[in-house]
Amino acid sequence: MADRTAFEQRYGFRRNEATLANWRLAPYSKWSFQNAGEFVPSAGIACADGAVESLAVDPTNLLSQSVAVEGRRETVADFLQRSDTDAFVVMKRGEFVGDYFAPHMDLDAAHIVFSISKSLTAILAGSLEADGLLDPSAPVTRYVPEAEGSAYGDATVQHLLDMTVSVDFDEIYLDPTGAFERYRRAMLWNPGGGEALLPFILTIRKGPHPHGGQFRYRSPNSDLLGVIVERASGRRHAELMRDRLWLPLGAKRAASVTVDGEGTARAAGGVSVTPRDLARVGEMMRLGGSIDGRRILPESWVRDTLTGGSAAAWKAGDFAHLVENGRYRNKWYQTGFDSGAFFAIGIHGQWLYVDPAAEVVMVKMSSQPEPVDDPLDRQCVAFFQAVSAML
């Protein structure tokens, strides 16, 4: 009884009220986003043995500083609280200079990052490309022959990486009956079961446009990329994450990725990591693919990711309202700002924002009630710009 009462006091509900049917809904998400593995089967991603994280810090009193967000003056802490932030971590020149953790979030808790998983999976693809194991210009069917006849039958791996595949599929997060709900059941994120993830993806048909012309944000593209990196390497997604990113990164806490009934990783959205370890990923990207003298990615791959891509495809695509002059390359977003800022983003308010000019990396993990909140996303970008300028 005492344990249950302590849980209720912290989260506002009983543990048995959070289920597979509601784990992505408020208020349950404040806990379930830190415990996705209690709802969906997950594969572990180990960190270095004996790694210990330091205590939360705010040596610059960052949280009390005032920022202007679209004309509204407020403290950093006020903005974080009103945007349902679970954790906010800031690095400056590789050092942690500010932490915020909501009362329901622990320093060492791994939090699901949803579509930031896509950007992490792209890092695996870049690593395999560097070793000659993966060719982004190759057709998808080189690695997944059974994709012949689907939307992906005449697409390339680079089309997947840049989200320029033409597919007859809509990303409607709150649709309770359509193709997206069927997709969620295939990944075991919703009750009811159904076909496995890859068989579902291969039922998707091509859209009306040719591949390569428009940025169309469709998550199955990234799950298919996860299958490709597994087949190109002969290793499971979680093993690749461990050996090619987590261990060389110097991650301090284990991570995980949800899997379907066949063990296929939810490469598009199932990764859980701690805020500080995600910040280390951003710092590695800021430094051109290496960290603490350990090279994880070729500098050329990082440069292409942060400067390549099609401006025309972006402007014709789904997210031009977020950053007008942006681009999308290798599953990372470019802002087009003079600072060279770039980011990775996930639903319900997950952000990894890097400002190279200011030498700043920020991670914001959240439990926003709505999967997508366009006005708040624009405010977040303005907030990150303001904090970068302050630092």
pLDDT exceeds cutoff 80 at 255 = yes
- What CATH architecture applies to the domain 95-390? 3-Layer(aba) Sandwich (3.40)
Of the chain, the percentage scoring pLDDT greater than 70 comes to 98
Cβ atoms of 101 and 205 within 8 Å: the answer is: no
d(CA 42, CA 20): 14
State the pLDDT confidence band at 4, using cuts at 50, 70 and 90: low
pLDDT exceeds cutoff 70 at 107 = yes
Locate the domains of the chain by residue range: 1-31, 95-390
278: helix, coil or strand? helix
Residues that are catalytic: 115
Of the chain, the percentage scoring pLDDT greater than 90 comes to 90
Q: What Rg do the C-alpha atoms of the chain give, in angstroms?
A: 20
State the pLDDT confidence band at 3, using cuts at 50, 70 and 90: low
Site of tokens 């784990």 = 23
pLDDT digits (tens, 9 = 90+) for 339-378: 999 999 999 999 999 999 999 999 999 999 999 999 999 9
DSSP string, 175-243: -SSSHHHHHHHHTTSSTT--S-HHHHHTTPPB-SS-TTSS----THHHHHHHHHHHHHHTS-HHHHHII
pLDDT at site 51: 64
State the pLDDT confidence band at 135, using cuts at 50, 70 and 90: very high
| Continuous segment of H or E residues that includes residue 354 | strand 350-355
d(CA 156, CA 270): 24
pLDDT exceeds cutoff 90 at 174 = no
State the pLDDT confidence band at 104, using cuts at 50, 70 and 90: very high
State the pLDDT confidence band at 50, using cuts at 50, 70 and 90: low
pLDDT exceeds cutoff 70 at 119 = yes
pLDDT exceeds cutoff 80 at 182 = yes
pLDDT at site 2: 54
Q: What is the DSSP letter of 145?
A: G
Q: What is the distance between the terminal CA atoms of the chain, rounded to a whole angstrom?
A: 46
| Continuous segment of H or E residues that includes residue 97 | strand 95-101
pLDDT digits (tens, 9 = 90+) for 205-214: 999 999 999 9
Lowest mean pLDDT, pick from 152-156, 159-163, 193-197, 233-237: 193-197
Q: What are residue 90's DSSP bridge partners? A: 98, 362
State the pLDDT confidence band at 49, using cuts at 50, 70 and 90: confident
The Cα-based distances of 11 to 5, 28, 109, 165, 311 in angstroms read 10, 8, 15, 41, 44
State the pLDDT confidence band at 59, using cuts at 50, 70 and 90: low
- Comparing C-alpha atoms, which of 20, 37, 41, 21 is closest to residue 262? 41
